[in-house]
Amino acid sequence: MALILPAYAKLNLTLDVTGRRANGYHEIDSVMQTISLHDLVSVARTDCRVFDVVGPSISGENLVLKAARELEGHAGRALPFTIRLFKRIPMGAGLGGGSSDAAAFLRAAVALYALKIPDEALVELATAVGQDVPFFLNGGTARATGLGSTVAPLPDFPKSWRFLVICPPIEVATRAVYEAVDGAASTARRTPALAARLESQQGVDAAGFGNDLEATARRLFPALSEAVAPLSAELPGLQMSGSGAAFYAAFPGEGEARRALGSLQADDVTAWLCRPVPAWR
């Protein structure tokens, strides 16, 4: 039997860099949201390990295979799988595709092998794979703090909203962006206000979105800024997700979002029209 799970992308609706630890890692405070753009992860129990990617090849560390190793280490035995990954989320875009794939694998593998892993232990295991992976175990709307792996659920983002996601064909190195943020620049601290509005059901205002990393990413990678600049006039409020290169614009309703999508397509810009996806656990 095989399980096929969607692995949803995420947006950082806010991303505040609140400090830097002695080891060089940064503390963040972020409202994250899963969106309907997704990969598919197919996992089946087999006698040998097979991993296959349909779509662009994966560069760098493969978080799905890292998750498999961590899970086997926790279980103390071999857990052979046939894994087929259907990639659609752009890689290295700040959309969390690799982390989401790893979390989907963990959920499928735990079910297929009927592993009795307490939630706390599964979060620890997911954190060992990557700091974003714990968020994707449940998805939805959540506040991520610390290094990003401390996750607290928030009320669901309004389902009527839509996001236009754009990913220029530019590679942005996450490590380089974070290393250039030395902690001297003040943070806008947008996250507490947005989290409070969601918790109090006051309604959402996209003016409260934003990302402390955007200015640094655009400075370090001028091609990114050049690609996004002409789009900003058509999409007011365009924001970067994660450390880039993906940007998004948020709309309270689908009609306005579709009109904006039409204007982008006329300019030959590839974009995804996405809805917010609520938590699944």
Q: How many C-beta neighbours within 10 Å does residue 226 have?
A: 12
Residue bearing tokens 């997911």: 126
Residue bearing tokens 């954190």: 127
Q: Beta partners for 81?
A: 45
Q: Do 210 and 250 contact (CB within 8 A), yes or no?
A: no
Q: What angle do CA 6, 116, 7 make, to 5 degrees?
A: 10
Q: Do 190 and 16 contact (CB within 8 A), yes or no?
A: yes
Catalytic-residue membership of 10: yes
The catalytic residue among 10, 16, 29, 212 is: 10
The amino acid at 50: V
Q: What angle do CA 219, 58, 56 make, to 5 degrees?
A: 95
CA distance 204 to 219: 29
Reply yes or no: is the peptide bond before residue 245 cis, omega within 30 of 0: yes
Catalytic-residue membership of 39: no
Q: Rounded to whole angstroms, what are the CA distances from 161 to 36, 57, 115, 116, 252?
A: 12, 32, 37, 37, 4
The catalytic residue among 16, 101, 132, 212 is: 132
Q: Beta partners for 14?
A: 31, 210
Q: Which helix (H) or strand (E) holds 208?
A: none
Q: Which residues are catalytic?
A: 10, 132
